[in-house]
Structure 1
Amino acid sequence: MINILLILLLQLIYVPILTLRTIFLVKNMTMIAAFLGFLEALVYVFGLSLVFSGDQGTLAMIVYAGGFGVGILVGGYVENKLAIGYSNFEVNLMNKNTDLIARLRNDGFGVTVYEGEGRDSKRFRLDILTKRSRGKELMDLIDEYEPQSFVISYEPRRFRGGFLVNNMKKQRKLQLKKVKTDSEQVG
């Protein structure tokens, strides 16, 4: 019975690692993906060896498969909590909502506004790139100001320049400056 529980535990470790490895690979973070691939293979071999070496037979295989399914749920949950990467939101509005635009900018979102021509009238599109971890916050603000807006989001694979990148560089410089100041005060 202990082998059955161990098989389940290994699956609950293996599948989330598999999920994260895949995501890191897609996001071009190959060093992390390679390390997770090593861990994944190690856990996989141990789990599979338990399934085939024991006398549990069918029960071990069912637990192995069930653990895989539950592991997918756990891996998805972990990935959503980590919110790795960035999202780009295209927000289409009937009117130029300057209150929403100002609020988004004040809250640290980079917003580019485009004016276009729809079937019946002018339209406005907000182009917003943000960390995935702030996606819900952004959607809540959009819903508060423009509940009827049409929103599309996707994950860009690469980008450079612009408000977000420049803002990240400024924050990094401030953090390095603070660390240097803190270490000088200690020393």
Structure 2
Amino acid sequence: MEVDLPFLLLIFVINVAYISLNTIRFMLTMKSYRLAASLVSMVEVTIYVVGLGLVLDSLDNYINLAVYALGYGFGIALGIKIEEFLALGYIMVTAIVPDIETKMPEDLRDLGYGVTTSLAFGREGDRMVLEILTPRKTERKLYKQISQIEPKSFIISYEPKYINGGFWTRKLKKRRKEIEAEEQR
């Protein structure tokens, strides 16, 4: 059995590209980016057909199939990394803090976040609940800021499906741009 390294590399690269695009297309579909998902899927299926054709034409060589599978695994990992880098969409963060007199809402508002507060009662007494909507790109930064202000915060996050109106659409975008401009100076 002959090993053709350039051919194996081609199979690997094709499958990494195909699966990375597949992962990204799936994420775009889940976030309702219809046009982008459709365009990515056209490239994806073309790469898939070419790659699968190469492997099926040489099924007598099990190394080709192994490299195809290896490319699949690397493609998943790369697709996830690309999706994390793109960080499409928004998250809703709920922070529950034990101090109902906390200045956290004002501090977070000063940092450009839209914050809605309410009082709640937990097992150990009164709590303040903060609801914060933020782009996924700033998710980790927000977690750090919350933890720095109140280390005992209980934090939960989820992705909202629909957003309309409120502080977010009017002022937050403007304020976030101002803060980002200040940070770049």
TM-score w.r.t. the length of structure 2 is 0.87
Q: Does 1:144 align with 2:145?
A: no
Residue type at the aligned position of 1:46: V
Q: Does 1:16 align with 2:37?
A: no
RMSD of equivalent CA atoms: 1.8
The match for 2:122 is 118
Q: Does 1:50 align with 2:54?
A: yes
Question: CA deviation digits over 1:147-171, x for unaligned, max 9?
Answer: 2211110111111111222236758
| Structure 1 stretches lacking a partner, 5+ long | 172-187
Work out the percentage of aligned pairs sharing the same amino acid: 35
Residue type at the aligned position of 1:166: R
Decide whether the 8 Å contact of 2:112 with 2:172 is kept in 1: no
The match for 2:93 is 89
- How many residue pairs match? The answer is 172
Residue range with higher mean Cα deviation, 119-128 or 98-107: 98-107
In the TM superposition, what is the alpha-carbon distance from 1:76 to its structure 2 partner?
0.6
The match for 2:43 is 39
Q: Aligned match of 1:104 in 101, 108, 114?
A: 108
TM-score w.r.t. the length of structure 1 is 0.86
The match for 1:165 is 169
Write the distance in 2 (CA, Å) between the matches of 1:100 and 1:169: 20
Q: Does 1:129 align with 2:133?
A: yes
Residue range with higher mean Cα deviation, 146-155 or 97-106: 97-106
Write the distance in 2 (CA, Å) between the matches of 1:63 and 1:148: 48
Task: Name the SS for the 2:103 alignment partner.
Answer: helix
In the TM superposition, what is the alpha-carbon distance from 1:54 to its structure 2 partner?
3.1
Task: Name the SS for the 1:67 alignment partner.
Answer: helix
Question: CA deviation digits over 1:83-127, x for unaligned, max 9?
Answer: 110000000111135432222111110000110122231111000
Runs of 4 or more, structure 1, over 6 Å off, are none
| Structure 2 stretches lacking a partner, 5+ long | 176-185
Write the distance in 2 (CA, Å) between the matches of 1:152 and 1:35: 34
